[in-house]
DNA sequence: GGCGATTTATGAATCGTTTCAATTATAGAG
DNA sequence: CTCTATAATTGAAACGATTCATAAATCGCC
């Protein structure tokens, strides 16, 4: 049905080798011939068969990216960065969504392995290092994203969450706040624990400052709102004067609870800082101070590292850690 | 480097044909042989080379899905539905994000064509019907999603946005509201226009009801907030008593504007209905009444239709239209 | 024990591209 | 006009799984 190089060669009256050269190294072919071959390609509507090309090449032109949750803007931005960098190297990115499910994660690894992916970027859930090592032995390198790979034997690109937590808390302290509360959940997640750790460090640097830890059910808007309601239920004197939430979704929830009753003014009575700097953050009722991560840069850097390792597998593993940045808005600064 | 069927065959002391049979039709092979081959596979760490398989098969095991915006929960849910249905048929979905850019759309079509995708699901931007027809002629069927394909010669799976607009407006009318405003932007987008059209129909059914159209800059939270502020700037008597926004993001923005000042109570002074029923809707300061679309079902249905056409290209085109559903919450009902 | 039916196994041919050693054409130098 | 670089082109081999016509082994039955 579909035309092949053979058909093109025949129509253009050249050999298949020449057609291939026109496709891949046009400078090695006489201009007139290039022209003739192109005409034949157009006439036949020829489109390269990627499967055959891959078979010959032994490796696909695709990078597999497995993220935890495509609904999280952090990951879509990361994916976008990866895509851009990959495209600059004539590669495509296939996005897999593990949804925090290690079976789905494994299924995507199977797929990428069968496809002989050029490389794999992954935010691992289950214990996949063994799996990844086998892949690497078979020529498919992997880079961990948003995870420190220091101990795993893999390169990694991540963000310093301890520094992020420190930034947020120090900012609140600099605004004169002293009774800070950290609102989080699922403290076994590294990010949640690290941000707390960072906040703790900032607080210990100031003599009369205290840090309270408030544990919520989950990490959603609704969980944030519930946490906010619990704080409001306390007598005004025993409430914190500043809140730092583990992510922006929760911060939005907290904000809803505070604004709804009107009992507490933000930032006058209580300052609020979130994390991630999602689009919603700047559009909240009170624009939200937040900690921004260079998500897009993480994606593109991860691809760069991956490609370097693909080109030279003997390269030493690298652990790249980006620094987050504080974005100050109305929710934390008295006017 | 990597083991091939040939290596497996050698180790298991069988022919390559038998190895292939073990992989694809194990019931045609004696149990003892199957066992022996599996041991060899494990020992060598053999993994099928998908490129070789595809080359022989002439078609890949992948469905290409091109969406407008992965950040929109509607599309991620749709993708999820497509994935599930595809997985049930031993197929994988590759998600491409066109970001409303017809160049990116074309690049993904190129990719899918070279990969000899099993089929393509697309929410088209540019004029791609010609392109899709060529693909179909070469054996790659396509189904339009979230677009009516009635006139394009392609099957389509979409939602009845006119009905959705009607539902929203009629609900407001049933709550006794009479001065309804529709807030939207980019009215050339079919969805935006259709929802308005539906609202208009509902309003004309009620004698003393009026429909005002408020045009915003864009479709984001911030645009909604600005629209809300403009409404507040008007004297109380000339304000509408109900708002219907083209999507939930804008509804959230409007809500922020109204709540912030406290001048207007929702729903008492002004009722509010959004569209899409995103997660945020139920978590808003005032839980939001919204129109829900069966996004996941759209995705899975589109894959089903696609597979049927792939199996029998002579099949008649189908135009499937789902009905949306009204989800009533506090923002539109007086308590 | 012989015959046909059935089950199981074989291996060469095939898919379409790329590669590369070999060949032919072309140009420039002497 | 010959000889040697250089440029342009050729075409067979290879990649690895699948298929299918064919062969071999096994079985049941008279």
Q: How confident is the model at residue B33 (pLDDT cuts 50, 70, 90)?
A: very high
Note whether residue B279 is domain-resident: yes
Strand D close residues, chain B 46-75, CB < 7 angstroms: 46, 48-49, 52-53, 55-57
Note whether residue B55 is domain-resident: no
Q: Average pLDDT in the A5-18 region? A: 95
Q: Are residues A122 and A202 in the same domain?
A: no
Q: Are residues A170 and A206 in the same domain?
A: yes
What's the pLDDT score for residue A69? 83
Predicted confidence (pLDDT) at residue B25 exceeds the cutoff of 70: yes
Note whether residue A249 is domain-resident: yes
Predicted confidence (pLDDT) at residue B117 exceeds the cutoff of 80: yes
Q: Give residues 68 to 127 of B whose Cβ lies within 8 Å of A.
A: 70-71, 73, 76, 79-80, 83, 87, 92, 94-95, 97, 107, 111, 113-116
Note whether residue A269 is domain-resident: yes
Q: Are residues B152 and B172 in the same domain?
A: no
Residue contact A73–B73, C-beta within 8 A: no
> Is A152 within 8 Å of A163 (Cβ atoms)?
no
Q: How confident is the model at residue A260 (pLDDT cuts 50, 70, 90)?
A: confident
Contacts of residue A10, defined as CB under 8 A and 6 or more positions apart, other chains included, come to: none
The rounded distance, in Å, linking the Cα atoms of B335 and B333 is: 6
The rounded distance, in Å, linking the Cα atoms of A64 and A109 is: 8
pLDDT tens, residue by residue, A61-81: 999 999 988 877 888 899 999
Q: Are residues B66 and B211 in the same domain?
A: no
Collapsing DSSP states into helix, strand and coil, what is residue A256? helix
pLDDT tens, residue by residue, A194-207: 999 999 999 999 99
Q: Are residues A246 and A176 in the same domain?
A: yes
Q: Is the CB of A129 under 7 A from strand C?
A: no
CA angle A198, A201, A206 (to 5 degrees): 135
> Is B60 within 8 Å of B117 (Cβ atoms)?
yes
pLDDT tens, residue by residue, B238-259: 999 999 999 998 999 999 899 8
What is the tally of structural domains in chain A?
A: 3
For the CA of A285 and the C1' of D28, the distance in angstroms is 84
Q: Are residues B208 and B311 in the same domain?
A: no
Q: Are residues A127 and A215 in the same domain?
A: no
pTM metric for this prediction: 0.86
Tokens of A324: 């987050």
Q: How many CB atoms lie within 10 A of CB B212?
A: 15
Q: Are residues A180 and A132 in the same domain?
A: no
Q: Are residues A130 and A245 in the same domain?
A: no
What residues of B are in contact with residue A95 (Cβ under 8 Å)? 70, 94-95
Note whether residue A187 is domain-resident: yes
Note whether residue A330 is domain-resident: no
Residue B180 belongs to a domain with what CATH number?
3.40.50.2300
Q: Are residues A260 and A198 in the same domain?
A: yes
pLDDT tens, residue by residue, A281-318: 887 888 899 999 999 999 999 999 999 999 888 889 99
Note whether residue A255 is domain-resident: yes
The segment with the largest mean pLDDT, out of A62-76, A214-228, A248-262, is: A214-228
Q: Are residues B90 and B30 in the same domain?
A: no
Q: How many CB atoms lie within 10 A of CB A151?
A: 8
Residue B17: domain span: 5-48
Q: Is the CB of A32 under 7 A from strand C?
A: no
Note whether residue B334 is domain-resident: no
Burial of B268 (C-beta count, 10 Å sphere; 0-12/13-18/19+): exposed
Q: Are residues B287 and B235 in the same domain?
A: yes
């Amino acid at each position: 049905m579909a035309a092949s190089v053979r058909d093109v060669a025949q129509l253009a009256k050249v050999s298949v080798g020449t057609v291939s050269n026109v496709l891949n190294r046009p400078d090695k072919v006489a201009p007139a011939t290039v022209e003739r071959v192109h005409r034949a390609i157009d006439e036949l509507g020829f489109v390269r068969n990627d499967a055959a090309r891959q078979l010959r090449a032994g490796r696909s032109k695709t990078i597999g990216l497995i993220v935890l949750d495509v609904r999280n803007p952090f990951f879509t931005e990361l994916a976008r960065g990866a895509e851009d960098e990959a495209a600059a190297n004539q590669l495509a990115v296939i996005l897999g969504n593990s949804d925090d499910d290690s079976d789905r994660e494994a299924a995507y690894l199977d797929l990428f392995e069968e496809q002989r992916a050029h490389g794999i970027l992954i935010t691992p859930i289950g214990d996949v290092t063994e799996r990844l090592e086998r892949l690497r032995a078979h020529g498919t390198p992997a880079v961990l994203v948003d995870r420190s790979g220091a101990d795993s034997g893999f390169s990694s690109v991540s963000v310093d969450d301890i520094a992020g937590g420190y930034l947020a808390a120090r900012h609140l302290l600099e605004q004169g706040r002293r009774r800070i509360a950290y609102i989080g959940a699922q403290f076994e997640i590294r990010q949640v624990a690290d941000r707390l750790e960072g906040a703790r460090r900032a607080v210990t640097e100031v003599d009369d400052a205290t840090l309270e830890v408030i544990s919520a059910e989950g990490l959603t808007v609704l969980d944030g709102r519930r946490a906010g309601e619990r704080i409001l239920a306390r007598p005004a004197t025993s409430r914190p004067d500043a809140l730092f939430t583990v992510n922006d979704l929760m911060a939005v929830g907290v904000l809803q609870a505070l604004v709804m009753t009107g009992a507490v003014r933000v930032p006058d009575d209580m300052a609020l800082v979130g994390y991630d700097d999602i689009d919603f953050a700047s559009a909240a009722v009170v624009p939200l101070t937040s900690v921004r991560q260079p998500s897009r840069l993480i994606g593109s850097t991860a691809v760069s590292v991956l490609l370097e390792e693909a080109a030279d597998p003997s390269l030493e593993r690298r652990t790249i850690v980006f620094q987050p940045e504080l974005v100050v808005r109305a929710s934390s600064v008295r006017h």
